Structure 1
Amino acid sequence: VSGRPPRWIPKVADAAALNGYAVCANGAVLYEIGTDSVLSVRGLDPMLLHDVVDALESVLDGVSFAAERVGATAHEADVRQFVTEPGYRNPWDDAEGHTQARAELLGHTAVKLLASKANMTSDEMAMVAAEVLGDAVDITFSTGDGLIEVSARGTTKAAGLSEVADRLNIAPDDIISFGDMPNDVEMLRWSGHGVAMANGHPEVLAVADEVTATNSEDGVAQVLERWF
């Protein structure tokens, strides 16, 4: 279960010899690794994208946008999967993505809209965004560096994991999940046992059934060793 899109999954899956399902983009996409197939998508249509951008611009001066899209496979050549508008501030400072005019960026269904703003924390952005967007969409973030992620209403890692659990006939009580940022909160609440990393966001620490060691201290492994 990841906030990352399907295009990031095959490399990780190959390195770790993983197969089966991957819940991607904070629950917006269910991807089957073995068949390289996108099975389901929860998307933001162009009309909603325009409404969200207009609302965010009214309260976040200087905000810039990017959109995450998917095709039928992880690397479908006909789909520009990550697009940014000119001047988009990428907190990770990499060269990923195709630059497009805003009209083009908002003209196609997206699984995630990213809003970035300098000199503001993600917590601050999320609070302001919630005031103007309400429950029309889901707002979350996975970094504190001035970036929020907007998804279709009801799109969470918990919703995506629930879809996988239904397919595999596994009850929530039999699932353990790990997280460290607000995009993990609903999943930790939904799972039978939710574990927060010690270096996690306060919202995550508050809902967890257990707090393990930090990411750098192999906190996940320390918990899993109790069962495996």
Structure 2
Amino acid sequence: MTASEDRLLVALDIDGTLLHYDGTLTDEVRRAVAEVRDAGHEVVLASGRSLIAMTPVAAELGIGTGLMVASNGSVTVRLDPDEPQGWTLEDVVTFDPAPALRLLREELPDARYAVEDLGVGFRMNALFPEGELDGQHRVVDFEDLWSEEVTRVVVRSPESTSEQFHELVERLGLDDVTYAVGWTAWMDLAPLGVSKATALEQVRRRVHVQPHRTVALGDGRNDVEMLRWAARGVAMGHADPVVKEAADEVTGTIEDDGAAQFLRTLLAT
């Protein structure tokens, strides 16, 4: 067991890092995560997923306690099996999505828009394809999407590319939100200045791990700030050049169980 002063905070992205794109988790990665936790290190899942989409993954990994970062940093929870839902809220950051939604609809009138109802699901102007969003889905009038402040906005525009999303945000001047472009046709909006990195810094302070004992692993552009934040930022081998450039090193691809390869290096330190 690692001595308290030597333990690491290990921040792990989920999709494309721990999970394959079809949502499967290999036994190799599952074992590696368990071994790192058993060694006494603080493993923190950090994802763009909503809270209700993260808890099943945590359960599959055997993680029932500790802190977890959801919604690209807008939501931090403490997993607790004694709680009715299995978790308690530690920190929630919200914003008014109305200005961004109005501007985006003018440019992308046929896009689908959703806002997160924390711990429940999503309100949306039209149903998303089955399996893309978890929880309960409630279709509402577009104006009802900003009836209250939210933690996250999802924009799905099948005809748009990642590059077009980046260009659109710059052109519209969406300087009152933080945005993350995922796979083609998908963009998340979060409160200004909020990212996985900002949430993880608060987690680090809560669990009393020194900055030089932080490591992070991810594959997406929404992981860039997290990889830069960590003392040891590691990109998956299939990540695009922007993500790799933000990292200190690169591990194997998702097909090679790159996450397991990286995690096992922590057991030798």
For the superposition of Structure 1 and Structure 2, which TM-score range results when normalised by the shorter chain? 0.7 to 0.9
* Residues in 2 aligned to 1:118 and 1:157: alpha-carbon distance in whole angstroms: 26
Give per-residue Cα distances to partners, 1:9-62, cap 9 Å, x unaligned: 3322222221200011000001111141111111122xxx11111111233342
Contact 1:91 1:146 in 2 (8 A): no
Distance 1:119 1:102 in 2: 20
Picking from 61, 64, 78, the partner of 1:16 is: 61
Match of 1:27 among 73, 79, 90: 73
Of 25, 39, 49, the match for 2:90: 39
Aligned to 1:156: 195
> Structure 1 stretches of 5 or more lacking a match?
75-79
**What's the offset of the Cα at 1:104?**
2.0
Q: Which moved more, 1:33-42 or 1:159-168?
A: 33-42
**TM-score, normalization: structure 1?**
0.87
- Structure 2 counterpart SS, 1:58: helix
Give the direction of change, closer, same or farther, for the CA distance of 1:216–1:15 in structure 2 (3 Å limit): same
Provide the residue aligned with 2:111 in structure 1: 63
Deviation of the 1:65 alpha carbon: 0.6
Q: Is the 8 A contact 1:165 1:171 kept in 2?
A: yes
1:175 and 2:223 matched: no
Sort the Cα spacing of 1:94 and 1:22 in 2 relative to 1 into closer, same or farther, 3 A.
closer
Higher relative contact order, chain-length normalized (CA < 8 Å, sep 6+): 2
Is 1:2 the counterpart of 2:44? The answer is no
Percent identity at matched positions? 26
Aligned to 1:105: 145
Compute the TM-score of the two structures, normalised by the length of structure 2.
0.74
Runs of 4+ in 1 over 6 A off after TM superposition: none
Alignment of 1:48-197 (within 5 A): 49-70=97-118, 74=119, 80-86=120-126, 88-90=127-129, 97-143=137-183, 145-197=184-236
- Number of equivalenced pairs: 215
Residue-by-residue CA offset, 1:151-190 (whole Å, 9 max, x unaligned): 1101100001101001012123211101111110000001
